Amino acid sequence: MASSIAFTACDDDWSTTPLPPQGNTPTEVLVSLEYAFNNRDIDTLGAALADDFTFHFDPLDVGYDVDGYIIPDSWGRDDFLAACGNMLENAYSIESEIASESIDDPDEGIDEFTAYTILVRFSVKVDAQNGYWAQDVCDFRFVDKNEDGTDNWVISDWWDDFLYRTFESPIHVSLGWILARYYKP
């Protein structure tokens, strides 16, 4: 019993994070995306995105000045990964939750699929006391990039949509707004 208690006390030293799914379904891609953010894994994040990936900012963010950077309508894959890479490298802490269980995967033979109003929550701390929290509903378009009949889904489009539009505030915090804070053109 004593060795069991001692081992349990050291559990953090022995724990491992499970590897993300491989993209056999759109649901697995979203699980992989959540894993990538929570584990600061830019390679897994990049693998979840199509080569022609587009991140579409919330229309309320477009034109907003974030520390001298004016938020555009959208980013391509390179700009999105650059912002995410800076966030993954420089944030004090990151917690994400993507409601992947809320989608039904497409039927066999479908090679393009859009999941609507997926709840996405992000908490990004810049230091021990300060940070940003966003809760958005996002739409994701997935494409099956394999033409040989095997599934290999990736995200081709991500539309960010700030959830709490009813608040009377000059500033709202969306995922896109958080990422724009980490973008260095």
As a whole number, the mean pLDDT across the chain is: 84
| pLDDT at residue number 171 | 56
Cross-strand pairs, 113:
142
Amino acid identity of 40? Answer: R
What domains are there in the chain, each with its CATH number?
22-182 (3.10.450.50)
Q: What is the pTM of this model?
A: 0.84
| pLDDT at residue number 145 | 83
Phi/psi at 177 (nearest 5 deg)? -65, -40
Neighbouring C-beta atoms of residue 130, cutoff 10 Å: 8
DSSP-based three-state secondary structure for 104: coil
Q: How does strand 93-98 pair with strand 65-66? A: unpaired
How does pLDDT run across 127-151, given as a tens digit for each residue?
999 988 888 999 999 999 876 666 7
Of the pLDDT bands very low, low, confident and very high (cuts 50, 70, 90), residue 153 is very high
